[in-house]
């Protein structure tokens, strides 16, 4: 069994940041679960455009608020506590935190290895 706490990860190499976001990586490929799980914060006012070409991602909002849309769609969907979005088509998408930091619990399949940050095209490198 694995038992871990957010406080044990803060400030370690499992606490990864990029422009406007911070991802605390609670479960990684090396944990052998077949998925990774992160506690992600999108900073208030940040707008990210990303496309996980090599991963499927589901995000469950637990705090804050924001909006999401696919890049080729006009409709923004609200994201607020207890809303889930799943990028089941590797959808290129835009996510933004509007009135507060947006806190998401995110699952990736295949799992993240640990240090991934978005590449120029908005993707993470394929898992090794």
Residue with tokens 């590449």: 119
The site string for ligand 9YT over 2-41 (x = CB under 6 A, - otherwise) reads: -------------------x-x--------------x-x-
Of 50, 43, 58, the C-alpha closest to 102 is 43
Closest distance to ligand 9YT from the beta carbon of 3 (Å) = 20
What number of other Cβ atoms are within 10 A of residue 58's Cβ?
Answer: 16
Of 31, 27, 15, 40, the C-alpha closest to 97 is 40
The footprint of ligand 9YT on residues 56-115 (CB under 6 A) is 57, 59, 95, 104, 106
Residues 51/111, Cβ–Cβ less than 8 Å? no
Measured from the CB atom, the residue of 55 and 75 that comes closer to ligand 9YT is 55
In the complex, the residues that contact ligand 9YT under the rule CB under 6 A are 21, 23, 38, 40, 42, 48, 50, 57, 59, 95, 104, 106
């Amino acid at each position: 069994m694995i038992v871990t706490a957010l406080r044990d990860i803060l400030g370690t190499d499992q606490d990864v940041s990029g422009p406007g976001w911070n991802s605390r990586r609670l479960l990684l490929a090396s944990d052998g679960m077949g998925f990774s799980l992160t506690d992600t914060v999108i900073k208030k006012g940040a707008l990210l455009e990303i496309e996980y070409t090599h991963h499927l991602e589901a995000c469950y909002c637990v705090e804050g608020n924001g909006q999401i849309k696919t890049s080729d769609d006009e409709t923004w969907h609200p994201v607020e506590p207890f809303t889930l979005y799943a990028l089941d088509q590797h959808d290129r998408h835009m996510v933004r935190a509007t009135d507060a930091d947006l806190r998401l619990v995110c699952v990736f399949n295949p799992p993240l290895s640990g240090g991934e940050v978005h590449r120029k095209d908005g993707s993470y490198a394929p898992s090794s």
